[in-house]
Copies of this chain bind each other. A is one copy, B any other.
Amino acid sequence: MFTVAKNKTKRPVNPRISARPNEQSSQNADAFAEATARLAEIGKGFYARGWALGTSGNFSAVISREPLRLAITSTGLDKGSLTPAQFLEIDNAANVVQGEGRPSAEALLHLAIARGLHAGAILHTHSVWSTVLSGSHALQGGIALEGFEMLKGLEGVRTHKHREWLPILENSQDMIELGERVSKILRESPGIHGFLLKEHGLYTWGAGLQEAKRHVEILEFLMEVPVRSGAAQSA
């Protein structure tokens, strides 16, 4: 079982299978406006913390489940001045349904996570902590986070004794190939709350945006701790 799947009742956007086209379109418009306003605010906060410098990072939220529609950042944006108008609505194949601009090639990873985990929001950051730690621990294939109270900020975790495995995948520019590896790791590592791309950054998600934002903060914190402790020092 995946963690997010356990929390279906919390999903802010319900799949509206039987909605009539017009109704759905209007519902999507509301969901899109609400999601992009919040995504822009969250993105600016991450930029301020240095987690999305230099146009890095991309952020998405599920607007409808059937058919699958995501609100996602257009590529190449300065996250320090992110606005709702800079988001796109994309379909299941990363085609732009609404909005100006081009989605990041990494939109395919967002879609893989939205489908594979029934996630309602997917956030991707590039922090110094994730860059350092994913480099120092790449050979181990991941890093185990255990014993920290902050683990309880990850959905479904009830004790600091939890052992969270944060997989590290080799980075790639081939998003088809990387998307397949991501889907595979999601299937083979039930219960994970995020993964790292080596010397690239963090992907995490949640049933909704608030949960996904919380997971970014928790995982960035839990990566900062070993780096500050000297566990990532090049020797």
Contact = CB atoms under 8 A, between A and B. Distances in A.
A55 to B, nearest CB: 6
A89 B230 CA distance: 42
Interface in A115-165: 126, 128-129, 131-132, 135-136, 147-150, 153, 158-160
How many monomers of this chain does the complex have? 4
Interface string A182-205: 000000000000000111110000
A78 B214 CA distance: 8
Instruction: Among A49, A160, A213, find the residue whose CB has the most chain B CB atoms closer than 10 A.
Output: A160
Contacts of A210: 78
Interface stretch (A14-22, A65-73, A217-225): A217-225
A9 interface: no
B232 A229 contact: yes
Contact of A229 (B135, B149, B200): B135
A129 B80 CA distance: 21
Contacts of A158: 173
B131 A56 contact: no
Interface in A36-51: 45, 49-50
A150 B214 contact: no
A128 B129 CA distance: 12
A234 interface: yes
B135 A160 contact: no
Interface of A: 45, 49-50, 53-56, 78, 80, 126, 128-129, 131-132, 135-136, 147-150, 153, 158-160, 171, 173, 197-201, 210, 213-215, 217-218, 220-221, 224-225, 227-235
The 5 closest A-B pairs by CB, nearest first: A149-B200, A230-B233, A54-B217, A54-B153, A53-B217
